């Protein structure tokens, strides 16, 4: 099919829930994507922070082929090696104790919310179910995780939402204390607010939140759906913040492009969600887990160090272009936000860049870059050159 045919067929038969770019992607290689007609794009999106190893990674493909040939799926009523090994690696690399595997970020956060509420119910009984989240956060699209999301625009249409969430301004410990109460069981944060605009939390603040949670026996929950799996230059962002959360959700990059997510939790949460309290049919799918193992294998300490260096290179490259539409950059590792000057629109900037062969994302009022973690210097330079040419006026 041609690009035009794919666009037309999609618009006719698929619900119009997304504001899509008019680009049909046929295949990819490294950090480059190609249309059916062979038009090339440099990709600073990797899905939305999903394709950590880029496109066509040989080890990732081999792992998927080999596992699909052996066993494509079996339920969680049985055991498989790939999920067992992936859980072990994630625990050993983080200091957490156990994993629950699911399929998407919102679903993982739902599980984390259930974990917090049940932890509190088991210990204190009913009435301690409120979870404090931060303004400008994003936690998912289910009815509950929409409500967990601290942005009013998401609290619309789908009434009634799940009760039991309060919001506090980010980086403001007094605001968090003001939102506290006898009904609270947990605090949930993103360490770098992704959809909200790539806004990193202050380390002192997060350490104080962790300490407050420990003091009150609230679970300290970290949503690493976007920041996890090497994106910020450590396996999880919480490792850079010097934390050990009670539970951590992960998703986007975990299987390098196959749908997988999960929750890591510490020892005190190990037996909270006992048999029959939580489940998902597709969770821990062996092909996804095998892909996840290939991702873990690639993310050595040296590789993660390179992610930090590439992030620094890309950010200084962008800032030294002095483009009239851009302000400062921010972020961690290869999770980069670019402030957009008032008189420009981030959506328009993204569309102009796409027209010239560079795919970027938006977040809040800014531009967001989540390139494949394997992106090469040459690919970054090509992207920077397209930015310079497209946005010089």
Binding residues for ligand PLP, per CB under 6 A?
Answer: 104-106, 109, 138-141, 190, 194-195, 223, 225-226, 251-252
Q: Which is nearer to ligand PLP, 262 or 357 (CB)?
A: 262
Provide the 3-class DSSP secondary structure of residue 124. Answer: helix
Distance between CA atoms of 172 and 236, rounded to whole angstroms? 23
**49 is written with which tokens?**
């922070």
Smallest separation (angstroms) from ligand PLP to the CB of 59: 24
Q: Residue 50 Cβ, how far from ligand PLP at the closest point, in Å?
A: 9
Minimal CA–CA distance to 373: which of 228, 226, 198, 231? Answer: 231
Minimum distance, C-beta of residue 357 to ligand PLP, in the bound complex (Å): 26
Give the residue with the Cβ less far from ligand PLP, 118 or 231: 231
Distance CA 299, CA 305 (A): 10
User: For ligand PLP, which is the closer residue by CB, 223 or 379?
Assistant: 223
Nearest-approach distance from CB 106 to ligand PLP, in angstroms: 3
Q: In this structure, are residues 286 and 122 in contact, taking their beta carbons and an 8 Å threshold?
A: no
Residue burial 74-111, b: 16+ Cβ < 10 Å; e: rest? eebeeebebbeebbebbbebbebebbbbbbbbbbbbbb
How far are the Cα atoms of 10, 33, 105 from residue 37, in angstroms, in the given order? Answer: 18, 11, 33
State the nearest-atom distance from the C-beta of 164 to ligand PLP, in Å.
18
Collapsed DSSP state (helix, strand, coil) of residue 40:
strand
Instruction: Please say which residue, 360 or 384, places its beta carbon nearer to ligand PLP.
Output: 360
Q: Is the peptide bond before 160 cis (omega within 30 degrees of 0)?
A: yes
The radius of gyration of the chain from alpha carbons, rounded to an integer in Å, stands at 21
CB of 31 to ligand PLP, least distance (A): 20
Q: Which residue is nearest to ligand PLP (CB)?
A: 105
Least distance between ligand PLP and beta carbon 229 (Å)? 12
> CB-wise, 139 or 315, nearer to ligand PLP?
139
> Alpha-carbon dihedral of residues 154, 158, 163, 166, nearest 10 degrees?
10
Closer by beta carbon to ligand PLP, 179 or else 361: 361
3-class secondary-structure state, position 118 = helix
Give the list of residues 6+ apart from residue 295 with CB closer than 8 angstroms, or none: 52, 53, 60, 229, 230, 253, 254, 255, 256
Q: Which is nearer to ligand PLP, 198 or 386 (CB)?
A: 198
141 or 347, CB closer to ligand PLP? Answer: 141
For residue 310 the two structure tokens come to 């590439």
| CB closer to ligand PLP out of 295 and 387 | 295
- Are 42 and 32 within 8 A, CB to CB? yes
Q: Whole-number minimum distance, CB 145 to ligand PLP, in Å?
A: 7
Q: How many residues does this entry show for the chain?
A: 393
Distance in Å, CB of 7 to ligand PLP, minimum: 23
């Amino acid at each position: 099919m041609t690009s035009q045919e794919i666009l037309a067929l999609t618009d006719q038969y698929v619900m119009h829930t997304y504001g899509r770019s008019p680009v049909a992607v046929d295949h990819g290689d490294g950090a480059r994507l190609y249309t059916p007609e062979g038009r090339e794009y440099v990709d600073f999106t990797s899905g939305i922070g999903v394709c950590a190893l880029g496109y066509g990674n040989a080890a990732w493909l081999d792992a998927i082929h080999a596992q699909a040939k052996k066993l494509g799926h079996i339920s969680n009523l049985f055991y498989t090696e790939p999920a067992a090994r992936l859980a072990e690696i994630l625990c050993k690399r983080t200091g957490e104790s156990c994993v629950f595997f699911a399929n998407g970020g919102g679903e993982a956060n739902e599980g984390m919310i259930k974990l917090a509420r049940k932890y509190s119910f088991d210990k204190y009984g009913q009435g301690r179910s409120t979870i404090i989240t931060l303004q400008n956060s994003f936690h998912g699209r289910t009815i509950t995780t929409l409500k967990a999301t601290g942005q009013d625009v998401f609290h619309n249409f789908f009434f009634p939402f799940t009760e039991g969430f309060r919001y506090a301004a980010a980086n403001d410990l007094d605001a968090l204390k003001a939102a506290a109460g006898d009904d609270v069981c947990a605090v949930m944060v993103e360490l770098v607010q992704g959809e909200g605009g790539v806004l990193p939390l202050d380390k002192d603040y997060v350490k104080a939140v962790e300490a407050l949670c420990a003091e009150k026996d609230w679970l300290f929950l970290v949503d690493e759906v976007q920041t996890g799996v090497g994106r910020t230059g450590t396996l999880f962002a919480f490792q850079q913040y010097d934390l050990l959360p009670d539970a951590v959700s992960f998703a986007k990059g975990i299987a390098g492009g196959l749908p997988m997510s999960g929750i890591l939790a510490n020892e005190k949460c190990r037996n909270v969600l006992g048999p029959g309290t939580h489940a998902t049919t597709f969770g821990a799918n062996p092909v996804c887990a095998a892909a996840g193992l290939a991702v873990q294998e690639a993310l050595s300490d040296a590789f993660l160090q390179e992610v930090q260096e590439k992030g620094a290179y890309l950010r200084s490259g962008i800032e030294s272009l002095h483009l009239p539409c851009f302000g400062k950059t921010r972020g961690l590792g290869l999770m980069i936000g670019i402030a957009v000057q008032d008189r420009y629109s981030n959506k328009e900037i993204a569309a102009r860049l796409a027209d010239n062969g560079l795919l970027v994302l938006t977040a809040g009022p800014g531009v967001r870059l989540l390139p494949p973690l394997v992106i090469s210097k040459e690919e970054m330079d090509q992207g920077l050159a397209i930015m310079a040419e497209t946005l010089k006026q």
